[in-house]
């Protein structure tokens, strides 16, 4: 059984261009100039029940953005995500009851762990019972 399925996942942010100086303040109010920044572009993977996965890469590679989409914090710009049979950003509360998110640098704690080091390592596991909190 697949616990996490990600197909062609994408996330694009619109970053506004800011102008400096006194004249720039007025230009910022009037114009909407900016550019698209692709944080995640066309990622696909699957994680089976009970499987642990290392998610590593350099700073700015989109690791945290991907994790936020897996937990429903961010809505993807494109692609499909299923976690434990649920669409994370549509069924966030139901997903929260079935999983654990742990932030920090403790990879043995279960759930999704990440640190802000140069190479980030994430261990993903799903909890089999809410009260027992034992990884599958």
At 45-100, the pLDDT tens digits run: 999 988 888 888 899 899 999 999 998 999 999 999 999 889 999 988 888 877 65
DSSP 84-109: TTB-TTTSHHHHHHH--B--SS-GGG
Characterize 83-112 residue by residue with b for buried, 16 or more Cβ atoms within 10 angstroms of its Cβ, and e for exposed: bbebebbebeeebeebbbbeeeeeeeebbb
Which of 88, 94, 96, 49 is CA-nearest to residue 72?
88
Question: Which structural domain range is residue 45 located in?
Answer: 2-10+40-109
> What share of the chain has pLDDT > 70, as a percent?
72
Quick check: is 28 in a domain?
A: no
Q: Structurally, how many domains does the chain consist of?
A: 1
Q: Where residue 68 sits, what CATH number does that domain have?
A: 3.40.50.300
Query: Does the pTM exceed 0.85?
Result: no
With respect to residue 56, please indicate whether it lies within any of the assigned structural domains: yes
CA distance 114 to 71: 13
């Amino acid at each position: 059984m697949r616990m996490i399925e990600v197909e062609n996942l994408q996330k694009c942010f619109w970053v506004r261009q800011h102008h400096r100086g006194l004249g720039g303040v007025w230009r910022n109010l009037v114009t909407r100039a900016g550019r698209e920044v692709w944080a995640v572009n066309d990622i696909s993977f699957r994680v089976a029940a009970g499987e642990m996965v290392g998610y590593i890469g350099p700073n700015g590679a989109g690791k945290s953005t991907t994790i936020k989409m897996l937990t429903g914090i961010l809505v993807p710009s494109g692609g499909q995500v299923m976690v434990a049979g649920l669409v994370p950003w549509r069924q966030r509360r139901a997903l929260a009851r079935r999983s654990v998110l742990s932030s920090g640098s403790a990879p043995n704690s279960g759930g999704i762990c990440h640190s802000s080091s140069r190479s980030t390592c994430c261990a993903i596991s799903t909890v089999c019972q809410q009260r027992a909190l034992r990884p599958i």
